[in-house]
Structure 1
Amino acid sequence: MKALICGIGGQDGSYLAKLLLEKGYEVIGTSRDSMIAPFTNLERLGIKQKVSLFSMAINDFRSVLTVIDTHRPNEIYNLAGQTSVGLSFEQPVEAMESIAQGTLNMLEAIRFVDPAIRFYNAGSSECYGDTGADGADEGRPFWPRSPYAVAKASAYWLTRSYRESYGLHASTGILFNHESPLRPERFVTQKIVRAAARIAAGSKEKLKLGNIDIYRDWGWAPDYVDAMWRMLQQDQAGDYVVATGESCALEEFVRKAFVYFGLDWHDHVTTNRDLFRPSDIKYSCGNPLKAKQELNWSATYKVDDVISAMCSEAVQQELSMRNQELKT
């Protein structure tokens, strides 16, 4: 089996590549410019030399068509495109082009090259807007509240349209928040964990956050890439909510992360209204029942496990940095 992962350098792409290699796949990965991309996450997982890397601009149809026609994969995982809700307010055109237009380019290329190729589209819980405490399932209407969410909703409907119109095996995973040590610090969970680790190591910094009175359904990224793979193994394509089914306040996430390091977050954290988004979701929670029933998938990590794993890795990174400083 041969798999093409678009956006292989990100958190999900790297974990997915590791999973597929373990299953015996030949893995091909793309980024906008593979010659200069560092692929740090692949290096951290020890798999960079085990995958083939190529350049591809997902918003350029010719580029997408050339890569798919050249490599003829059995499965394509579209994880490329803008990944930040906050950034999408500043760069809405880039969000639409890299997510919606990029997905359309992938689907059209598959239709031209080989309609038997199975396609995974990375959806997002942001499409739902505020879910309330009940948890959103696949039948809940979308109410996107950011350019990122609008783009993801468009990509979802494009994927569904090509599945229904052309018979493509094209599925969307509507993934709720999922984290890991591979997250960069521009994501709030990693920002919190790394700051707490530095403060515990002696830093005098203050952690500045935006709105902490929000609730999110946080899971573990390696769990979620397993769900992606399972979707493409089904006889019939479909759309699936991937979530833990539980939500946690961001304030509680902060508290637990600082407690891990023996700290009281009140002493080290400030909120800044300049960091608030133009619009935000109060409560986000998913209902993964369909994934459990049809994919035999469920989250192995809940939020406390995620926090512990991220904090433990942050400790190791701080120790590694200290050792490097001592050597120099």
Structure 2
Amino acid sequence: VNGILFNHESPRRGETFVSRKITRALARIKLGLQDKLYLGNLEAKRDWGHAKDYVEAMWLMLQHSDPDDYVIATGETHSVREFAALAFAHGGIEIEWKGHGNSEKGIVRTLTSALASTLKVGDCLIEIDPRYLRPLEVGLLQGDASKARGKLNWEPKVRFNELVRMMVESDMNELEEMRHCQDVIRKLSNNKSKQ
């Protein structure tokens, strides 16, 4: 059995991958720990699915009586720009894109009132950094999982919007917990120094 798995994401994705880089930066920006997110090619399109769905597909491959080769993918593509805009929207920030090419920027168009103390409309939160542009970038990666759907009766369950939401919420929760722990340690240190 061989499986060709397209991008499979989850909140556990490494921070150097663009999906997690986006959700982690959003959480850090919301908490005032980071000013901007720097990205490469906003036009790159990927077939992003949830790792849990892909693990299910692998299990189904192993249960099938006839070994075969399968492509595991959602069949949908979304650009890095779409991923970033959706992640920021889930975080209460609507992004407006201005400029073109390497000078394109993601600017705050609207935001929830809870963020008004740290951010404002017009703030630039996303910029292109040429260091992240790949000279041999593949513009479109899209898989056809029709064989897996037909022979294994497999369907991805987690949609793109839900995947991005889950990753944003996980990074927000993780950083808020870390901040809380740091506050507790600071208070304990202050109390100890007063004794």
TM-score by length of 1: 0.47
What letter is aligned with 1:244?
Answer: T
Residue 182 of structure 2 is matched in structure 1 by 325
Shift of 1:180: 0.3
Residue 248 of structure 1 is matched in structure 2 by 78
Q: What whole-Å deviation, never above 9, does each CA across 1:252-285 have from its counterpart, x for those lacking one?
A: 1000111111223432111111211220111111
Q: Paired residue for 1:218, among 11, 34, 48?
A: 48
Q: What whole-Å deviation, never above 9, does each CA across 1:219-257 have from its counterpart, x for those lacking one?
A: 000110111111111111111111111111110100011
Shift of 1:204: 4.0
What letter is aligned with 1:200?
Answer: K
Shift of 1:173: 0.8
**Does 2:49 correspond to 1:184?**
no
CA distance in 1, matches of 2:182, 2:29: 17
CA distance in 2, matches of 1:192, 1:219: 16
**Bigger relative contact order (CA 8 A; separation at least 6):** 2
Q: What whole-Å deviation, never above 9, does each CA across 1:167-196 have from its counterpart, x for those lacking one?
A: xxxx11111111001011111100000100
Residue 306 of structure 1 is matched in structure 2 by 163
Residue 207 of structure 1 is matched in structure 2 by 37
Structure 2: tracts of 5 or more residues without a match? 96-105, 108-123, 186-195
CA distance in 2, matches of 1:271, 1:172: 37
Residue 236 of structure 1 is matched in structure 2 by 66
| Alignment size in residue pairs | 158
Q: Secondary structure at the match of 1:232?
A: helix
Q: Is the 8 A contact 1:218 1:302 kept in 2?
A: no
Q: Secondary structure at the match of 1:268?
A: strand
Q: Is the 8 A contact 2:48 2:73 kept in 1?
A: yes
What letter is aligned with 2:33?
Answer: S
Q: Paired residue for 1:296, among 144, 149, 153?
A: 153
In the TM superposition, 1:63-212 aligns within 5 A as: 171-212=1-42
**Does 2:90 correspond to 1:260?**
yes
Which 4+ residue blocks in structure 1 deviate beyond 6 angstroms? none
Residue 285 of structure 1 is matched in structure 2 by 142
Q: What whole-Å deviation, never above 9, does each CA across 1:46-69 have from its counterpart, x for those lacking one?
A: xxxxxxxxxxxxxxxxxxxxxxxx
- Counting aligned pairs with the same residue, the percent is 40
What letter is aligned with 1:325?
Answer: Q
Q: Is the 8 A contact 1:220 1:306 kept in 2?
A: yes
CA distance in 1, matches of 2:159, 2:136: 27
Shift of 1:203: 2.7
Which shifted more, 208-217 or 198-207?
198-207
Q: What whole-Å deviation, never above 9, does each CA across 1:86-112 have from its counterpart, x for those lacking one?
A: xxxxxxxxxxxxxxxxxxxxxxxxxxx
CA distance in 2, matches of 1:284, 1:310: 21
CA distance in 2, matches of 1:204, 1:282: 29
